Chains A and B, each alone.
Chain A
């Protein structure tokens, strides 16, 4: 059956079904319904759909209300609001995520640096071995050695590597200081800033922070223009 051509009336049918029309509009719609079988059929379908679709999924509204009240606080107590928002299992705000990412990158880089340094230092220091041979690294390497030559020796086996050449100095960065000097938690805020700066200089920075930006869902209608496709 074709739709009624009275678009204005048809547009009001959902509100008519929900009882949301003013008295005047209700009278207009009802007057039309008296003569239009197509609109009556559409209204009947809408009413059926409302009954069919308004079935409530199993939720405990009282429990939700109680949880929400305890998890939030009136704005007059902003510190409680902040803590409630932290406790909520909702996505972490973009800025916090970015800081966390940088800290994770710093730790990862520090760990990698520590491994490299440990390898380099152990290769530079004599290492006692039990079978009476001497291990000498190949000469002429301009970077921390990756292989060594084993030479028989009477007493111990000692690993020797050439000193770092002038062409291969490792930049002394905050990251290096961290590796040598202690843990991340020992750093002051300033040190951490320097460290992050050094990491950034070495190409260890994350992609542009802007690419991590997500719309603030608490602002209605903001940043969800592509959301149709998301469903």
Chain B
């Protein structure tokens, strides 16, 4: 079904080049994956510091390539690191008494940061529908539909099972359809 072989090979090649000291390879990897990471960060509730989160994700990943076992794709690994950073950031903010904690229900989608974007009415309705999903459904739906991750990859990112990812996806799909039909 999914056949990201070319991307996989390219990522592997770029990693190899970077490990041998080619900084352009690192730049290429960042350019390739940063947009997806930024979208994912927004979809799971990061509203500010998205650029910093993406940057930290790469710094952590490139700084610990020895820990990358290669049994997942680089992209999945990056999503996993970013997801953890977003959760850590949210917890840290929740501990700060002067800050406004980002609660799960408040994590919506980050689409309100997308000022200036022209959207069709249908697209806006889909955004509204996705915004109404539970955080878990929204995360799975975004990874599946927007980023094209397989259930296995989603399970790796979120630390769950393929079966659970599949159930969340179909529940999300049903909820979105019902919202659009209603």
Determine whether the beta carbon of B52 is less than 8 Å from that of A221: no
Interface residue tally for chain A (C-beta within 8 Å): 67
Task: Tell me, yes or no, whether B127 is within 8 Å of chain A by CB.
Answer: yes
Task: Tell me, yes or no, whether B145 is within 8 Å of chain A by CB.
Answer: yes
- In angstroms, how far is the closest chain A Cβ from the Cβ of B99? 16
User: How long is the Cα–Cα vector from A64 to B51 in the complex, in angstroms?
Assistant: 7
Which chain A positions have C-beta within 8 A of B83?
224, 227
Q: Which residue of A lies closest to B45 (CB)?
A: A231
Which chain A positions have C-beta within 8 A of B41?
57
Determine whether the beta carbon of B146 is less than 8 Å from that of A53: yes
Determine whether the beta carbon of A81 is less than 8 Å from that of B63: yes
User: How long is the Cα–Cα vector from A89 to B51 in the complex, in angstroms?
Assistant: 13
Main secondary structure of the interface of B (DSSP, over half): helix
Which chain A positions have C-beta within 8 A of B110?
57
Task: Tell me, yes or no, whether B100 is within 8 Å of chain A by CB.
Answer: no
Which chain B positions have C-beta within 8 A of A223?
159
8 A Cβ contacts from B85-127 to A = 85, 87-88, 90, 104, 107, 109-111, 113-114, 117, 119, 122-124, 126-127
Residue positions of A touching B, CB distance < 8 A: 1, 3, 11-12, 14-15, 17-18, 20-22, 25, 42, 45-46, 48-69, 71-72, 74-77, 81-82, 84-85, 88-91, 215-228, 230-231
15 A-B pairs in the complex with CB atoms less than 8 angstroms apart: A12-B1, A21-B3, A45-B176, A49-B130, A53-B146, A57-B113, A59-B34, A61-B31, A61-B34, A72-B59, A75-B19, A217-B60, A217-B81, A218-B60, A227-B83
Residue positions of B touching A, CB distance < 8 A: 1-4, 18-23, 26-27, 30-31, 34-35, 38-39, 41-45, 50-52, 54-56, 58-69, 71-72, 76-77, 80-81, 83-85, 87-88, 90, 104, 107, 109-111, 113-114, 117, 119, 122-124, 126-127, 130, 135-136, 139, 141-142, 144-146, 148, 155-160, 164, 173-174, 176-177, 180-181
